[in-house]
C-alpha cells in the first residue's frame, strides 16, 4: 500500500477541529481511494 498526503504534514481527523484543505491518496495494486477535506471541514471519498 502506498499513501500520498497533500500538502505533506501532520493530520488531525476529528469533528471538533477543521484544518486546511487536504487530499490523501491510498493505493494498493490497481485500486486507489482519495479522501479530500475542504477548508470548511467537509470530507469526500472517491475511487
Domains of the chain, by residue range, sit at 22-47
| CB of 40 closer than 8 Å to CB of 17 | no
pTM: 0.65
| CB of 34 closer than 8 Å to CB of 45 | yes
Q: Which carries the bigger pLDDT value, residue 21 or residue 14?
A: 21
Q: pLDDT band for position 27 (50/70/90)? A: very high
Q: Report DSSP letters for 1-47, one per residue.
A: -EEEEES-S-----TT---S-EEEEEEETTEEEEEEE-TTS-EEEE-
Residue 29's CB is within 10 A of a number of other CB atoms, namely 6
Grid coordinates belonging to 20: 486546511
Amino acid at each position: 500500500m502506498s499513501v500520498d498526503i497533500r500538502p505533506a504534514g501532520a493530520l488531525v481527523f476529528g469533528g471538533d477541529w477543521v484544518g486546511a484543505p487536504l487530499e490523501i491518496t491510498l493505493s494498493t495494486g490497481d485500486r486507489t481511494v482519495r479522501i479530500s477535506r475542504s477548508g470548511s471541514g467537509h470530507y469526500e471519498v472517491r475511487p
